[in-house]
Structure 1
Amino acid sequence: MSKPKKFDRNMIVIGAGAAGLVSAYIAAAVKARVTLVEAGPMGGDCLNTGCVPSKALIHCARVAQQARTAGEFGIGIGGVEIDFPRVMGHVRDAIARIAPHDSVERYTGLGVEVLQGRAQLIDPWTVKVALNDGGELLLTARAIVLATGAEPLVPPLPGLEQIDFVTSETLWDRLSGLARAPERMLILGGGPIGCELSQALARLGSQVTLVEMAPRLLPVEDEDIAAAVTESLRADGVTVLTGHEALAFTAAAAGGGSVRLRESGGEMDVDFDLLLLALGRRARVQGFGLEELGMLENGKLQTDGFLRTRHPHILAAGDLVGPFQFTHMASHQAWYAAVNGLFGDLKKFRVDYSLVPRAVFVDPQVASVGLSEQQAAEQGVAVEVTRYGLDDLDRAIVDGSARGFVKVLTAPGKDKILGVAMIGDNSAELIAEFILAMKYGLGLNKLLSTTHIYPTMAEANKYTAGNWKRAHAPATALRWLERFHRWRRR
């Protein structure tokens, strides 16, 4: 494997999801000759089977729930009917309307050469592309970015091979062929995907059972957040079974089947018409020539802090790498992959993971950033916790959404923000102010002194800062002020 004396491209990017698209865009923007290779639909999982379809479905489910509860506001609607094919039509329409943002035409216009085909590394500098419409190309590049994404985990459970199950990738085609939501839906996995889809499908008419082997849902989040989400799901009719392990499956002659579950009190069977596996995702590493080049360790691709593999000019970004499988993290890493790939021999940049926000789009929404109470306890980090309940917020009250809370972790005795978690309407939007404050070192005092429009949900951020300020009022100075004002009244 000798390095070529010259190269066809400055960079080849394999995979056109968020990480690949952004990497290719950045390379083109700095006038590098870049080729983007994708075998499937442009936009990757996020556009086609992940963020976009799931949030479109969640929106439809929320509208249905608002219609059901309209009577609480004096609005008579009558019975709510779910036209499920039209719901799925909205999902498909959302994908179609966003698709041009990630299209071949757009990226070609931006200066990226887009090849639709299957890419495989032949050696560290050469990529073979088997084109979808026939033919084959061999291209060399000074830098290569791997952005092949991840795929759903399918556990080796007895009887599962007999079940016509779906994953987060195959769910959408199955739902598109239905006249109504599945009558009995079983979802394995109490992470963000399982929680979001269980609530949405329950609101759209399914009898949903959500099974999680851990003692609670959303194990990454703090216990109070997980408890609030569990309460919300159950209020929407989801049967939540935490601490339950799936043992084996039995297929039914008419479709669907049953699962045997084990928990502390014994075993039980749950019947279902459709099974969704939402047990996490694993890096997609097979079929790209990585194993043949010795780039995998125990089936995983290893990268350093600069996203470089064992071949420093081959970098990786997005779900393939982790450790955070978020679309916004894939885009964040893509900048480092592109810049380090193109200019790393002159100046390289270590990926900044100091602020990684995340959200769970249940209703009410969950959002968090920075250190959690759970992490602080595990790491032995001393923190102060300030809370503000949204049941006290004027805007939440008038909107009928007075539920949830904001929680801020600070350094003891200081207003420096170490972490934020919130659950409530539009939390994924509201947390942006805290992210900005943490990014630029603005403490709660600065946030408190910032004017917020009344009445808005964003005032919750200011009132949380106000609660911190009251807890840290200067007692000695206040005593002197009290004496001063008493003297002034004489």
Structure 2
Amino acid sequence: MKSNKLILIALILAAVVGFVALDGGRFLSLDYLQQSHARFAELYAARPLSVVAGYFVIYVLATALSFPGATILTLAGGAVFGLGWGLLIVSFASSIGATLAFLAARFVLRDSVETRFGKRLADLNAGVARDGAFYLFTLRLVPLVPFFVINLAMGLTKMRVGVFYIVSQLGMLAGTAVYVNAGTQLSKITSLQGILSPALLGSFVLLGVFPLLARKVIEAIKKRKVYARWQAVRPKTFDRNLVVIGAGAGGLVSAYIAAAVKAKVTLVEAHKMGGDCLNYGCVPSKALIKSARVAHQMKHAHRYGLESYSRLSDKGQRPISFKSVMARVQAVIAAIAPHDSVERYTSLGVEVLQGHAKIINPWTVEIALSDGARQLLTTRNIVIAAGARPFVPPLPGLSEVAYVTSDTLWERFAELDEAPKRLLVLGGGPIGCELAQSFARLGSKVTLVEMAPRLLMREDLEVSGVVMDALRADGVRVLTGHKAQRVERLPAGASADLAGNAVTQPAKATRSLPAGGVLVVEHQGVELRIEFDQLLCAVGRAARLTGYGLEDIGIAVGKTVETNDYLQTLYPNIYAVGDVAGPFQLTHVAAHQAWYAAVNALFGDLKSFKADYSVIPWATFTDPEVARVGLSEQEALAQGVAFEVTRYGIDDLDRAIADSEARGWVKVLTVPGKDRILGVTIVGTHAGDLLAEFVLAMRHGLGLNKILGTIHTYPTLCEANKYAAGQWKRAHQPERLLAWVRKYHDWKRG
């Protein structure tokens, strides 16, 4: 394949060199055509088939090699063959030549372009697959765009050859007809610029715009068709500009933006303001992680020159009160709750209703209020931001034990005087890893079971290894590659021995949850039995999609609601954001989407914006933390994106050493030979905070040189970013220039 490419490149270069060396351009000038017109006409009259064949081959080659002069050849076609035959011959010759140029660009250039710009080309290919034929047709209608540029550019995409040829054949017909017709009047042409008058150019532009206008008309027809069954109930006036369903991150931001631009907006929440993040997810888990981290530091206080709490335990003192830890979690939630409260959003101009919303038709929402009353609201637009709930797998016997999820554990565990003695965590994703480590540090004997071969499958292998080592260092028994088969319940007051036999235990005075059980797992064809007092199910989250009337009005639901790039559902006035829309189950992405949904809903008639997922950061808050933005190494390899890796070890950082946190790294993927950032993975303390600088850089197209040139406070952890940029710089030193600089300094010393 490589040798074939070299041969083709050599042939193309030879043709170009030959064309230039032999001054081939003189044959493709208006003067030469006018001088030779009579001779060509005589030759055509004497040997018509030979002239047509020769002209056809020359035209195809000139177009395939992107030689200048296609306009002259088109004029010649009109001058020699007349309008009818000239249009027929030129139309097919130009389309075939353009397709050959398209194929040459694909064969010679596409692999190297994909290697360097894989991610961007993937986005382009997605657009081409969706609308490529339409836009190619539009470009072909406007001769202001050089056709050879279109040929080469389209060759770099995954547009099908047949589609390219057919669209080119049809799209270039109008422009070809103008030039062929001009060729029939060759004696009257004084310059090529004279062929296209301003009026004619304006006509072509209008012709090119016509498909866009036609598309708008088609979209309007489709829109009317979508709403056809509801036209009889469409309100003439509306109670609200926007109704938002769900008061989590996505819903709160949507309502906030609507109120800020003085729209009349109602926010409906069936349960707690703040949604999952405030009440069950981000906030309580981070509060627990902080308490667990402090407990870990107390246990290992000798690392800081202090007395560890193990000595307090020896003295009969209990250093950790689990009940106090859980009380602190609730206190943190209560402290943050006013930020998301009914009172705050009411003061901002949002009407907040406590109740369950159901969409009756595209413009009407019925709200079952918490006081038992019902209210109907008509609205121009709706934003669905219902969030997600923990996914509970259909595991036989699971419902027979008192399992908890990341939602229910906060209330259930608040009843305990002590942390669960034996906690089994099902799931090795971010939630499972964070909670397993935290409860282990708070005194639980934790077993984590993951069906996949490693933890945190979205991260690089080395990241998974570091997190596994950290969990095991904290006493977590990590079982990867173990598939849960079933759960067996133990009778009250009993536990299981290693063989799974029930063993009666004396009752304890402290409060506890109902008896646990045994999880049966399969590993390499062998069944194992794992006893537990409490099982935490953390295998993922599923979007809340039922009960909102979506299916009743024809909006199909799967794992999420299908939306377009503007976050519109089947009905253009109904939007979905956050977990119900995907593709990321992240609070900050929900808030990010909410801006687009709210703005598009309120101002979409003037200007709409496509949701931008180009730079999405995320973090897993284990200890050490894992934070990433952009591509990981495994993703870059899977996508065929060429990259360089620059790595800085945080164990070398002064502040990390001073804090006894000297572990982890900053790993940056860049375009080969350039400082443009493709992705960053940080492992270490406060990795999520350190990542922000790289997120900013990627969002605004700043490279590592800019980060290196930024002053960072000493001594801080964020210096790791600067030193990573310095590592890249040292690897790309201009060695030849430095050799001359050395000679200069030698000369200066005499």
Shorter-normalised TM range: over 0.9
Q: Of 562, 566, 569, which residue of structure 2 is paired with 1:306?
A: 566
CA distance in 2, matches of 1:175, 1:242: 26
- Aligned match for 2:677, one of 417, 423, 427: 417
Specify which of 623, 632, 656 is matched with residue 363 of structure 1.
623
1:191 aligns with: 429
Equivalent in the alignment of 2:531? 271
2:349 to 91, 108, 111: 111
Aligned partner of 1:49: which letter?
A: Y
Q: Superposition pairs for residues 219-238 of structure 1, below 5 Å?
A: 219-238=457-476
Structure 1 residue 73 displacement after superposition: 2.0
Q: What is the CA distance between 1:301 and its match in structure 2?
A: 1.4
Work out whether residues 449 and 479 of structure 2, in 8 Å CA contact, stay in contact via their aligned partners in 1.
yes
Residues of 1 paired with 2:252 and 2:341: CA distance? 10
**Conserved? CA contact 2:543–2:559, under 8 Å:** no
Q: Which residue type is aligned with residue 668 of structure 2?
A: V
Please state whether the residue corresponding to 1:130 is helix, strand or coil: strand
The equivalent of 2:131 in structure 1 is none
Could you say what secondary structure the match of 1:296 adopts? coil
2:305 alignment partner AA: G
Structure 2 letter corresponding to 1:43: G
Structure 1 partner of 2:406: 168
Contact 2:545 2:557 in 1 (8 A): no
Question: Hey, what's the Cα distance between the residues in 1 that align with 2:381 and 2:348?
Answer: 19
Matches within 5 A, 1:179-328: 179-254=417-492, 255-264=515-524, 266-298=526-558, 300-328=560-588
Matching residue of 1:70? 301
* Partner Cα distance (1:72, 1:344) in 2: 58
| Superposition map of 1:365-444 within 5 A | 365-444=625-704
Match of 2:245 in 1: 14
Paired position in structure 2 for 1:54: 285
Q: Distance in 1 between matches of 2:561 and 2:731?
A: 48
Q: Give percent identity, aligned residues only.
A: 61
Residues 469-484 of structure 1: pairs in structure 2 closer than 5 A: 469-484=729-744
Q: 2:312 aligns with which of 79, 85, 88?
A: 79
**Whole-angstrom distance in 1 between the partners of 2:283 and 2:305:** 33
The secondary structure found in structure 1 opposite 2:553 is coil
Q: In structure 2, how many angstroms separate the alpha carbons of the residues matched to 1:360 and 1:473? A: 35
Structure with greater helix share of residues: 2
Q: What is the alpha-carbon distance in structure 2 between the residues aligned to residue 76 and residue 298 of structure 1?
A: 55
Matched, 1:140 2:371: no
1:440-483 deviation per Cα after TM superposition (whole angstroms, max 9, x unaligned): 11111111111111111111101101110111001110111111
Bigger shift: residues 212-221 or 74-83:
74-83
Which whole-Å deviations, capped at 9, do the CAs of 1:102-125 have from their partners, x for residues lacking one?
Answer: 000000000000000010011111
One-letter code aligned to 1:181? A
1:343 aligns with 2:576: no
In structure 2, what is the equivalent of residue 460 of structure 1? 720
Note the C-alpha offset of 1:390: 0.8
Q: Which amino acid aligns with 2:674?
A: K
Task: Determine helix, strand or coil for the equivalent of 2:462.
Answer: helix
2:476 and 2:542 map into 1 onto residues whose CA distance is 27
Q: Output one character per residue of 1:161-183: Cα deviation in whole Å (capped at 9) or x when no partner.
A: 21211111111111100001000
Distance 1:299 1:402 in 2: 41
Q: Which structure is higher in strand share?
A: 1
Range with bigger deviation, 237-246 or 446-455: 446-455
Letter in 1 for 2:281: G
Q: Deviations over 1:259-315 (max 9, x none)?
A: 111111622100001101111111100000001111024464110111000000000
Do structure 1's residue 97 and structure 2's residue 328 form an aligned pair?
no
* AA at the equivalent of 1:18: A
Output the amino acid matched with 1:112.
V
Q: Distance in 2 between matches of 1:465 and 1:297?
A: 45
Query: Are 1:26 and 2:257 counterparts?
Result: yes
Which amino acid in 1 is paired with 2:396?
A: P
**How many angstroms does 1:134 deviate by?**
1.8
Consecutive unaligned residues in structure 1, runs of 5 or more: none
Report the alpha carbon displacement of residue 49 of structure 1 after superposing the two structures with TM. 0.6
Change in CA separation of 1:398 and 1:479 when aligned onto 2, cut-off 3 Å: same
Aligned counterpart, 1:486: 746
Structure 2 residue matching 1:431: 3-state secondary structure: helix
SS at match of 2:675: coil
User: 2:303 corresponds to which letter in structure 1?
Assistant: E
Residues in 2 aligned to 1:124 and 1:228: alpha-carbon distance in whole angstroms: 50
CA distance in 2, matches of 1:64, 1:158: 36
Residues 160 and 341 of structure 1: is their aligned pair in 2 closer, same or farther, counting only changes over 3 Å? same
Letter in 2 for 1:360: T
* Structure 2 counterpart of 1:39: 270
Residues 560, 582 of structure 2: 8 Å contact kept = no
State the 4+ residue runs in structure 1 displaced beyond 6 angstroms. none
How far residue 79 of structure 1 moved from its aligned partner, in angstroms, is 3.0
The one-letter amino acid paired with 1:421 is T
Quick one: distance in 2 between partners of 1:436 and 1:189?
32
Matched residue type, 2:242: M
Distance 1:418 1:184, change over 3 A: same
| Paired residue type of 2:631 | L
Cα distance in 1 between the residues matched to 2:371 and 2:640? 57
Aligned partners of 2:524, 2:367: CA distance in 1, in Å?
52
1-structure distance, mates of 2:668, 2:312: 41
Q: Provide the rounded CA distance (Å) in 2 between the counterparts of 1:256 and 1:375.
A: 40
Structure 2 counterpart SS, 1:79: helix
- Kindly provide the CA deviation profile for residues 107-164 of structure 1, in whole angstroms up to 9, marking residues without a partner as x: 0000000000010011111000010012100001000000000111111111112121
Rounded Cα–Cα distance in structure 2 between residues aligned with 1:44 and 1:73: 39
Q: Residue 249 of structure 2 contacts residue 274 of structure 2 at CA under 8 Å; is this kept in 1?
A: yes
Aligned pair 1:177/2:423, yes or no? no
* TM-score normalised according to structure 1 size: 0.99
Q: Structure 2: how far apart are the matches of 1:333 and 1:341? A: 12
Give the deviation of 1:16 after TM superposition.
0.3
Largest Rg, 1 or 2: 2
CA distance in 2, matches of 1:299, 1:380: 28
Change (3 A) 1:300 1:332: closer
In structure 2, C-alpha distance between the alignment counterparts of 1:145 and 1:387, rounded to whole Å: 43
Q: What is the CA distance between 1:188 and its match in structure 2?
A: 0.6
CA distance in 2, matches of 1:66, 1:57: 14
Structure 2 contact 560–579 (Cα < 8 Å) conserved: no
1:332 to 592, 612, 634: 592
SS in 2 for 1:32: coil
